[in-house]
Structure 1
Amino acid sequence: MTKMQIVKTLFLKAPPAHVWKFLTEADRLAEWFHRGGNDLKEGGDYILETNSYGKEGETLCWGRVLEMKEPERLVHTFTHNFIDGAETKCTWTLEAVANGTILTLVHDGWENVAEERFNAAASHDVGWDEHFSRLRRVTN
């Protein structure tokens, strides 16, 4: 079986310390992704809540933070009901460049999804693109 992974690279016109806040702080996550139940902490669990009208505050995604090296690297597990709680992994790398940050996401672990893993990965690929369009706006 081919190992599937989603790899996204963004060029953001903000320093890594600024971008880091949007990956780890509950209120900043809400500006481009989903509201966090709490700020991310290394070794800690996290939840992300839906921002959808009428469903505000419902748990949408969850996982645990495996590694935090501010403001260079963040690794966490990621799951939700759509993939039946199967654990995937997101690795974020922030690289400082002259006028901003190169942010790379590697989202892997799709082999843990029992059924329809290709469709699940493809759906997340599109979803990340939609969320990243907002991340570009709020960080710049």
Structure 2
Amino acid sequence: MTPLKITKTLFLKAPAAHVWKFLTQADRLAEWFHRGGADLVAKGEYSLLTNTLGKEGTKMCWGQVIEFDPPHRLVHTFTHDHLKGVETLCSWTLTEAEGGTVLTLEHTGWEKVGEGAFAMAANHDAGWDEHFSRLRRVVS
């Protein structure tokens, strides 16, 4: 199987240090993705909590921070119940540009899913688009 990789690039009209907060601070993550159980920290475990009615605060995504270089690079594993314990990898790169930040996400590891990997990657690809439309609104 050819390795699948989701790559998303956003041009955000904010400095990298500001964008970084939205990737690592629990309350800022809640504004565009899911509330963090706590802020992400170097080499730490993290969890993201659901806001689904009746299940608020339940852990829905989790992983381990592998690289933490504020405000330039964040790499962490990423899994949830639908991935059945398979850990994918999210690598975030923030590059300062005139007038803002270029934020790039590479989400890899889909081949470890096995059967249905393409469908799972396609669902996450669409999901990232939805989340990133909110990120663009709240980060500015």
Q: TM-score when scaled to structure 1?
A: 0.98
Q: 1:2: Cα distance to partner?
A: 0.6
Residue of structure 1 equivalent to 2:93: 93
* Per-residue Cα deviation, 1:7-33 (whole angstroms, up to 9, x for no partner): 000000000000000000000000000
Specify the SS of the correspondent of 2:132: helix
Greater Cα shift, 114-123 or 70-79: 114-123
Matches within 5 A, 1:118-137: 118-137=118-137
Structure 2 unmatched ranges of 5 or more: none
Identity %: 65
Q: TM-score when scaled to structure 2?
A: 0.98
* Per-residue Cα deviation, 1:47-67 (whole angstroms, up to 9, x for no partner): 000012221101100000000
Greater Cα shift, 67-76 or 108-117: 108-117
Structure 1 unmatched ranges of 5 or more: none
Q: Quick one: distance in 2 between partners of 1:52 and 1:15?
A: 32
Segments of 4+ in structure 1 off by > 4 A? none
User: RMSD in angstroms over aligned alpha carbons?
Assistant: 0.6
Aligned length: 140
